[in-house]
Amino acid sequence: METIAKHPCFDKEAKQTHARVHLPVAPKCNIQCNYCNRKFDCVNESRPGVSSAVLSPYQALEYVKELNTKLENLSVIGIAGPGDPFANATETMETMRLLKAEFPEKLFCVSTNGLNLEPYIPELAELGVSHVTITINAVDPDITAKIYAWVRDGVTIYRNRQGAEFLLNRQLACIPLLKKHGITVKINSVIVPGINDNHIHEVAKKVKELGADIMNCIPMAPSKDIAFNELPEPDKGMIFKVRTLAGEHMDMMTHCSRCRADAAGLLGQDMDEAFGMIQEYSRMPMKPAEDRPYVAVATHEGLLVNQHLGEATQLYIYKQTPNGFKFLGERKTPPPGCGDVRWLEVAKLLKDCRALLVSGVGPNPLHLLEVSGLRVIQMTGLIDEGLEAVYLNKEIRTVKKADSFKCGDSCKGTATGCA
């Protein structure tokens, strides 16, 4: 297939001719691997889970625009962490949308543990994502349980065999679904001596039955502060044996460079300049979505910006007209008590809004809303004053973050703000 021939991870010949970039937009992870230490900001380490910075979707877009002028052979845009793409699904999907609109001719891929992948497969296919990698280290729950300390689904933590079965069922279900949508599937298996080195051929057999296309058996990278820190790195003999046995069932990728989550350039020949570029773009301001026509406001009575986002049961929506600002109506916010899901739903609710005016907001919802492209302005004062700041770039004279204890009499929290 032509697309595979242009992807250096799926075609060894393309390793020397086609560059790729990994965008570090997914810092959180929903599992804890006993071989993983996701240490950020260390350019001297080259292993999965490491990144010199974390980018928002809009920062990633601007970064790739510049990188594309410096790498003439850039053909693949991928997301592989430094956590898991679908533990950061809002950021991952928004990044894909932005980049696909800007670079429709390039290949797009994601690398994931598969725990939260399934709900996003149809949209990945719609966006033209052509390659997905899933890390599956065992198909025996007893072996899987030794590799992961815990698995988190939403706010629920699973451990031991229960966590292993939960993760494995999710992973295996994704393979035929991805193939149904025409997506090329690669399976990564990390070789952990004494744990799964004599089992990975069973992984190969199972994923082949489910339709996976290619497999990559990666030796565990030694690292400090991991549960498996006393285990030796797999030697050449072990790696050869594992790949040979797994190769009886699956085509093998044998040229893996154990790429960082912010790698850019040819495999094994990363572009040193990219690390500095990522740090620079991580410090750039968030650019609001100017093509979104509306502004949302948290207000008690429709005159003042005077309500904390955490206590808002509805938001007022305004737009700019030739005759001034017009009130369009109210939108009910999702009910409290569902953690980050609430703020992701608010982001969807306000996807046509360029800004949100509130008297206060917690750091976690602030981050989730901003990475969705929504500019959040914390202020107290007249609504018109805030609208003028958004639409006319006027200065707000009375900018003030709400004190945490003033969130509202109905708040049942701990006076530390909404997290």
| Statement: residue 114 has pLDDT above 70 | yes
Could you give the count of Cα atoms lying within 13 Å of 7 in the half-sphere of its Cβ? 25
Work out the average pLDDT over 116-140: 95
At residue 404, the pLDDT reads 38
What's the CA gap between 261 and 40, in Å, rounded? 10
| Statement: residue 361 has pLDDT above 90 | yes
Residues of the chain with CATH 3.30.420.130: 294-406
On whether the pTM is more than 0.75, the answer is: no
Token pair belonging to 50: 């490491």
Please state the separation of Cα 30 from the chain's center in Å. 11
Poorest-pLDDT segment among 219-223, 282-286, 317-321, 324-328 = 282-286
User: Three-state SS for 157?
Assistant: strand
At residue 279, the pLDDT reads 79
Residues of the chain with CATH 3.20.20.70: 2-282
Could you give the count of Cα atoms lying within 13 Å of 216 in the half-sphere of its Cβ? 23
CATH, range 2-282: 3.20.20.70
Q: Under a CB-based contact definition with an 8 Å cutoff, are residues 111 and 80 in contact?
A: yes
- Which CATH fold would you assign to the domain 294-406? Nucleotidyltransferase; domain 5 (3.30.420)
The DSSP secondary-structure symbol of 272 reads T
More confident residue, 155 or 301: 301
